[in-house]
Structure 1
Amino acid sequence: MIFSSAIFIFFFAVVFFVQWYIIARLPGENLRQRTLFLFLLFASYLFYMSWDWRFGLLILFSTFVDYWAGIFISRRLEEGESASEAGQDSQTNEADSLTTRARRKARMALIISLIVNLGSLATFKYFHFFVDSFHNLMFALDPSFGPPEEHQLLFRIILPVGISFFTFQSMSYTIDVYRKVIPVEKSFIKFALFVSFFPQLVAGPIVTAREFLPQLSRFPRIDSTDLREGCRIFLLGFIKKSVLADTVAPYADMVHADPLAFGFYAHWLAAIAFTMQLYLDFSGYSDMAIGSARLLGYQLPENFRMPYLSRSISEHWQRWHISLSRWFRDYLYIPLGGNRVGPVRHKLNLFAVMATSGLWHGAAWTYVVWGSIHGLAMVAEAVFKDGIAAARDKFYRAGKWAERSWNALGWIYQIVFVTVCNTVFFRIQDISYSWPVFKRLLALEGPTAMDIRPTHYRTVFLVLLVMIAGHILGRRFFSDHHLRSPLPRWAENLALPAVLVLLTQIAVLDQTTFIYFAF
């Protein structure tokens, strides 16, 4: 059940109607809350199990473990605080011992929660990656071991949709409870809804407990502004995905289906097409998630902020998949020491986070290399930070055109770097093809003639112009994640129903799966 399908639009219309026209009219705030949370939980599990009913068992198990881990951690920390206060009054060693034991038990519960979550992720997402990597290593060390094809497992583990997303959400809860950042959630229904809330369940944005659980303290409310903005953002995401991303996807797929058969021009066309597809597909899904949640009265965090306006790789990652970057910052980068440690360790922290981010994206060495190269670029930017700043200031003092030239150089560097990395490592699943494709991008091998039809170029560059216009106009129409419509309110109120009818007609057509569903 993908967001751009007719079945989801029908599903969401039913959820919207039941929430606002039936449940919202029940007597009593408590009754409305309990009924709504149960209904949304049911709808979320129905949504997730539409892919495979077994997925519901996995997310229920993860929810159950982390809910009780949070309860246990909270109780042990309270016991430790009580013992510590008693120890201050009596000044006895026994109280200190009780405090230490209570905190140790809380830490052990957190460790168990992390092991269960990371173990599930490793089993379902990385098991075959680890096995295949081991076979490749053994074959490289001892050819008599036989190629990996001779050691294929008799079974394949199904990858649950969105497991990387809801696992990170669930882990953030137990970590924050242990850190005393948030209070424990005593309602299992509310916690289960936080983990499984269907608008952001399978591809984000990654929502932390501190952002979402407070929104479950009352029955949601929306006004005409929420209704309009929710529709606008959802429709914007739908257009990004179904009209733009799906238009350029076939050109990238065509070249990457047989990358050695194409040369310089085709691979650059595929690189540009895939870079656009990746952004339009994923940001489109995020927009639809944010818009649909807004229509139900809930706020989800911003996930993209016009990333291709960036002038460095570091800035790019502050604008791209913001919720993931923030998660790694709060739960990996800062615990490793962040930038508060020595310069060498700081650079190692940057690299470790980006390499881990690459592995998070997929169980293949291409993703690890992709993340590592981004990490090396960010390390290089940090190493030469002072020199870059001095050169920038010199350009800025030279006048407006020099300032624009500097900004253009940074923008070109970011665009070319991201585009090449995306096509050489992120798009290609077999790392043995990465080097040949890279050489084709440099025109060092392969055919150099125009090896695909001119109409392909026109289509891709038309979408590119639309995306560039969207980035430029985004500065005008977006402010703090709120879309400002250039239309008068009366015109927009007439246009939205017409666009929704058109949307349902478009959604009948075949839709491709969102790229980030695989992560």
Structure 2
Amino acid sequence: MIFSSGIFVFFFALVFLTQWYIIARIPGESRRKIVLFSFLLLASYAFYMSWDWRFGLLILFSTFVDYWAGIIISKQHSSTEGLDDEESAPALRKARFALIVSLLVNLGSLATFKYFHFFVDSFHALMSAVDPNFGSPDQHQLLFRIILPVGISFFTFQSMSYTIDVYRKVIPVETSFLKFALFVSFFPQLVAGPIVTAREFLPQLTSFPRISSDHLREGCRIFLLGFIKKSVLADSVAPYADMIHSAPLEYGFFAHWLGAIAFTMQLYLDFSGYSDMAIGSARLLGFQLPENFRLPYLSRSISEHWQRWHISLSRWFRDYLYIPLGGNRVGPARHKVNIFAVMATSGLWHGAAWTYVLWGVTHGLAMVAEAFLKPWIDPLAEKMENLGSIPRNVWRFVGWLYQILFVTIFNTVLFRVEDIGNAWPIFKRLMAMEGSMAMDIRPTHYRTVFLVLLAMIAGHYLGRIYFSGNQLRNPLPRWAENLALPIVLVILTQLAVLDQTTFIYFAF
């Protein structure tokens, strides 16, 4: 049940109408909340189990473990009040044990369902290098293939962050299992983010949601923007990216650059489109989800790119990995090691393949290089900014070009290829080191990608002015916008690519 499908529109309409036209009329605030949260929890499990009913058992198990881990941690912390270090040591050990159980369950689920076959295949490759007669991978794997639950990397990180925050005493424990279960499984952001922390979501469950006409309009705008990104734009360029990468040796320089640009746009439009639809859906139900993209392709460095791209994941790694490792409070060498470790881990989070690991490593190396050059780059940048508009704009363009070329090349070569052995031939064709220089694809292919590129550029501009909430003016009166929104939705449904692709980040 993907957001851009007709079945989701029907499902969401049913949830929306039930919440605001039936449950909202139940007398008594407390009763309304219980009924609503129970209804949204059931809807969220129905949404998730529409892929596979077994997924519901996994998320329920993770929810149950983390809920009780939080209860135990809070209880042990409370028992240490007024005690000295020696007297409180046993209780703190129990709290630490509960945290470890939570981490092991969540990370163990990831290791089992997402990385099991990666570990087996890597072990086989290592042993085959030592002994060519070691055998085929199938001889050393289980008789069944472990399925990958949709969005497991998202909800495990979200649930795990709760127990860490309770252990750190950043947030109070949530004693209501109903509220905690809804926090973990809330369907708009369940399978592909944004990753929401307990400190952001649980306070929204203290009262029945409130919604105004402005919230409704804003939610519709954001959802429609995401729908356009995914179904009209991302799915339009996806065939060209797939065409080039399905047979990379058959195409030359220009075709591979077309595929690189097409996939770079597809990845952004696909993922940010899903995030917009998630945020818009939640807003229509009266909930706020955090921003996940902030015009990342306007960045002028890789470090800035990651401050704008998948913001909720970058923030999670900052709070739960980078800062515990010491962040920037340590020496210069250790600081750079921390940056590299976070980016390498981010690569592994994105997928169970060495291509993703190498992708994270390359981004980590780029950010380490930027940190190393920062004492020289910053004074130069300040000088260029003060020399006038032409030097300033040239400097900014150089930074932007470096960022966009780096992201385009390494997103394509490492993020897109399924086998690391295919990366080098594609890279050589992008660098005109190998392959034909002929225009070996039809002009219509270039036209489609170029039109989507123009639309994406225009979308960046409109996103800043209108959809972000910082609009200079409202171009339509309220009655006209209320009339236009359903008409636009119907038109977009007809314009959308019929052969829809699934969301790329569902695999993560």
TM-score (norm 1): 0.95
Partner of 2:75: 75
Report what 1:421 is aligned to: 410
1:107 and 2:96 correspond: yes
Question: Is this contact kept in 1: 2:465–2:472, CA < 8 A?
Answer: no
Task: Find out whether 1:305 has 2:294 as its counterpart.
Answer: yes
Cα displacement string for residues 329-349 of structure 1 (whole angstroms, at most 9, x for unaligned residues):
000000000000000000000
1:147 deviates by 4.9
Counterpart of 2:58, as a letter, is: L
- Checking the alignment, whether the CA contact within 8 Å between 1:312 and 1:411 is kept in structure 2 is yes
Does 2:52 correspond to 1:38? no
In structure 2, the partner of 1:93 is none
Instruction: State the shift of 1:506 in Å.
Output: 5.6
Residue in structure 1 matched with residue 348 of structure 2 by the alignment? 359
SS of equivalent to 2:81: helix
Matched, 1:334 2:323: yes
Task: For 1:58-207, list aligned pairs within 5 A.
Answer: 58-82=58-82, 84=83, 87=84, 96-148=85-137, 151=140, 153-207=142-196
User: Which deviates more from structure 2 when the two are superposed, residues 135-144 or residues 181-190?
Assistant: 135-144
> Which amino acid in 2 is paired with 1:258?
A
Which segment drifts farther, 96-105 or 457-466?
96-105
1:459 paired residue among 445, 448, 452: 448
1:222 to 211, 217, 222: 211
Q: CA 1:65–1:126 in 2, change beyond 3 Å: closer, same or farther?
A: same
Secondary structure of 1:69 counterpart = helix
Shift of 1:148: 3.7
Partner of 1:11: 11
Q: TM-score, normalised by structure 2?
A: 0.97
Distance 1:238-1:483 versus aligned 2 partners, 3 A rule: farther
Alignment correspondent of 1:430: 419
Please give the root-mean-square deviation of Cα atoms over the aligned residues, in Å.
1.5
Alpha-carbon distance in structure 2 between the residues aligned to 1:303 and 1:385: 26
Letter in 1 for 2:247: D
Secondary structure of residue in 2 paired with 1:113: helix
Question: Which residue of the partner structure matches residue 26 of structure 2?
Answer: 26
Q: Report the alpha carbon displacement of residue 18 of structure 1 after superposing the two structures with TM.
A: 0.3
Q: Do residues 316 (structure 1) and 305 (structure 2) align?
A: yes
448-457 vs 477-486, greater mean Cα deviation = 477-486
Give structure 1 stretches of 5+ with no counterpart: 88-95
List aligned pairs for 1:44-55, cutoff 5 A.
44-55=44-55
Aligned counterpart in structure 1 of residue 245 of structure 2, from 256, 261, 286 = 256
Unpaired runs of at least 5, structure 2:
none
2:503 and 2:75 mapped to 1: Cα distance? 41
1:477–1:486 Cα contact (<8 Å) kept:
no
Contact 2:241 2:260 in 1 (8 A): yes
Tell me if the contact between 2:465 and 2:471 (Cα under 8 Å) persists in the aligned partners.
no
Tell which deviates more after alignment, 458-467 or 146-155: 146-155
Q: Are the aligned partners of 2:115 and 2:352 in contact in 1 as well (CA < 8 Å)?
A: yes
Give the residue type in structure 1 aligned to 2:164.
I
2:169 and 2:138 mapped to 1: Cα distance? 50
Percentage identity across aligned positions? 78
Partners in 2 of 1:224 and 1:211 — Cα distance?
23
Change (3 A) 1:239 1:349: same
Rate the CA distance shift 1:485–1:279 in 2: closer, same or farther, 3 A.
farther
Q: Summarize the Cα distance change of 1:119–1:338 in structure 2 as closer, same or farther, 3 Å threshold.
A: same
Displacement of 1:382 after TM fit? Answer: 0.3
Contact 1:19 1:36 in 2 (8 A): yes
The 2-side partners of 1:121 and 1:344 are apart by 31
